[in-house]
A and B are shown apart, each in its own frame.
Chain A
Amino acid sequence: MRDRNTEDFVFEEEVYSMNEKIKKPVKSQVTFNKNRISRRIFLNNSAKHLFSLSTVFAMVVLGILLYQIVSGSIGWLDWQFLTSNLSIFPEKAGIKGAIIGTLFLMMIVIPVTLVLGVATAIYLEEYANEGRIQRLIKINISNLASVPSVIFGLLGLTVFSRMLSLGSSILAGGLTMSLLVLPIVVVAAQEALRSVPGFLREASYGMGADKWTTIWRVVLPVSIPGILTGAILAISRAIGETAPLVVLGIPTLIMKIPSGIMDDFTVMPIQIYYWTLDTVLTPEYAYLASATIVVLLVTLFVLNSVAIIIRNKFQKTF
């Protein structure tokens, strides 16, 4: 190996000297050129600043966004806003219905996505053999994740609202939303299951446990933090998603507080949407929208913090 390397090197040297013979002698590339080096360093430094500026740009936009929304909500976001029903008078309007609607929606989304998502992940990681079915499911999930959310709305509209005649009820909305966030849970659960070390399984088998007992008693408990983190991320996506529910045709103004899963409902993003659209007629609605956004963002922030805490605190390393 060493000899070949040397040969290569010599070869390159010859080419270089041949070139020199053919062309007119150029200044040697090796000479120490102070100007050239300082130019390169200058280029490097200016590029560095340009790159850092564009990173800062993103941060600044985030800052402006938060500032605008928080300053718009001041004076409007109070206890009365959180506990009142909707109203056509901006001063009296509140988002109690939207908050309860969101809670109801989660009562559907959480169990459906957890059961379906974890079961799919268990199949892919524990039971499936390398083969066509496994590949089909994997490709399918990665592509499902990229389908625009309006399309899920159309699916929900056709299948849940019309075929099963659930209308724009919480059940229809919840099922539609569950399908939308399913890939997030599947991918997170898969990663969690994969990170369970092999010796735990082998110890379980060695004790005489069968496969299902091993999964249920050993693998799943160890991977719960990872699964929970994924579930929380999925929930925060579902809480903030608007388009599928708008497509389901949720009515503009719902005065009634939902009391069961077959009732019509509204959620925070929908409320933001309608209030933003109506700012043309009633400028005060912009403040209501800002206040709702603050509530929504705080909810998401709390959820994500919980996810990070779970990930850092309970994730065992082996």
Chain B
Amino acid sequence: MDNNDIREIIQQNIKKKSHFSDRVMPKFFLFMALISVVITFGIVYTLIFDSIKFFSQVPIREVFSTNLSPLSREPSFGFLPLLNGTFLTTIIAMLVAVPVGMAAAIYLSQFASPRLRKVLKPVLEVLAGIPTIVYGFFAYSFVTPLLMRLIPSLGAKNVLSPGIVMGIMIIPMVASLSEDAMNAVPTIMKEGAMGLGSTRLETTTKVIIPASISGIVASIVLAVSRAIGETMIVTIASGSSKNFTFDITQSMQTMTAYIVEFTSGDAGSGTVGYYSLYAVGLILFVFTLGMNLIAQHIARKYREEY
């Protein structure tokens, strides 16, 4: 008898025995596992259910206007200022996170010696483990005053400073996901390129990056999703001005900050303002879920198999 025969006998014995525990336990664990699915449906249900109440009371043309004044006597719910604030902070964050994160990923995976890498990676992970509220405090009490010296017209609350700090927060994420993608490129390809006389830079730009581009793009898409959903930094440092403007030295409100402002304030349950929370939440949810699905799709579909 070789190993496989024994394995087969074991499998048969497992099937033969029908202990009580073997009949009940799978169902019990399935039930526990399905709770996570129930949570997701709970999220979708609460968001859609209350959003419907919002959209039935507010005309769709108003939603796409630039006038957002939820607490005034004649409230108006134009979400464009929120979308604008979210996208501006996200773009600034990406302008910081993508170049620096990619450079760090290339350095760690292609240039750094193994010993150096062993030191640098944990430090990046520390950066990733710092709570976002700490970054918010840092943006508001250090980066904003620092930028004010360079740009005198900068407001105490503005979009630039939280954008930059958010980018710094996302650097480790871009770096570590891109590095994973680059390390997954087979060593043979790298050695082949270097054997032909390429420098490390040429190997990276002509072999490693093209071969791992799906993972790199996926990491950037995930970073965008993270930036869109980031809350505390923007709530603290970019303020609650609901103006529609492209001036990044001014205060703007993001979707996430709107939710925080409105819930910690006193929007009574049942008012249009209260339901607007869920409408904004739904938009936010759709954006981040969409980004996440796109990232998964890119990583799966365009992955090169070697």
A interface list, Cβ under 8 A from B: 40-41, 43-44, 47-48, 50-55, 57-59, 61-62, 64-65, 68-69, 72, 115-116, 119-120, 122-124, 126-128, 133, 136-137, 140-144, 146-155, 157-159, 162, 179, 182-183, 186, 202, 205-206, 210-213, 215, 236, 239-243, 246-249, 269, 272-273, 276-277, 279, 286, 289-290, 293, 296-297, 300, 304
Contacts and interface: CB of A to CB of B under 8 A. Distances in A.
Nearest to B100: A54
Contacts of A236: 129
B288 A123 contact: no
A261 to B, nearest CB: 20
Interface in B109-163: 111-112, 120, 123-124, 126-127, 129-138, 140-142
A269 B36 CA distance: 26
A59 B123 CA distance: 7
Contacts of B133: 240, 242, 269, 272-273
Contacts of A64: 142
Interface of B: 6-7, 10, 13-14, 17, 19, 21-22, 25-26, 28-30, 32-37, 39-40, 42-43, 46-47, 50, 99-100, 103-104, 106-108, 111-112, 120, 123-124, 126-127, 129-138, 140-142, 168, 171-172, 175, 199-202, 222, 225-226, 228-232, 235-236, 256, 259-260, 263-264, 269, 277-278, 281, 284-285, 288-289, 291-293, 296
A120 B13 contact: no
Contacts of A240: 130-134
A21 to B, nearest CB: 26
Contact of B120 (A55, A158, A293): A55
Contacts of A273: 133, 136, 232, 235-236
A242 B29 contact: no
Contacts of B26: 123, 127
A247 B260 contact: yes
Contacts of B232: 242-243, 269, 273
A65 B171 CA distance: 15
Given A137-B36, A206-B10, A150 B138 contact: no
B144 to A, nearest CB: 11
A276 B123 contact: no
Nearest to A162: B269
Contacts of A286: 141
Contacts of A247: 259-260, 263-264
Nearest to B123: A59
Given A40-B199, A137-B36, A140-B36, A127 B30 contact: yes
Contact of A212 (B22, B34, B281): B22
6 contacts: A65-B130, A119-B32, A123-B29, A155-B42, A273-B133, A300-B129
B137 A293 contact: yes
B22 A159 contact: no
A143 B292 contact: yes
B37 A137 contact: yes
Nearest to A129: B26
A248 B264 CA distance: 8
Contact of A146 (B6, B171, B222, B231): B222
Contacts of B142: 64-65, 68
Given A186-B36, A211-B22, A242-B231, 16 more contacts: A48-B107, A54-B104, A123-B29, A123-B30, A133-B30, A142-B296, A143-B40, A144-B36, A147-B43, A147-B288, A150-B229, A151-B43, A159-B42, A202-B7, A211-B14, A240-B130
Nearest to B228: A148
Q: 10 tightest A-B contacts by CB?
A: A148-B229, A240-B131, A119-B32, A51-B107, A123-B29, A54-B103, A44-B199, A212-B21, A123-B33, A243-B231
B131 A246 contact: no
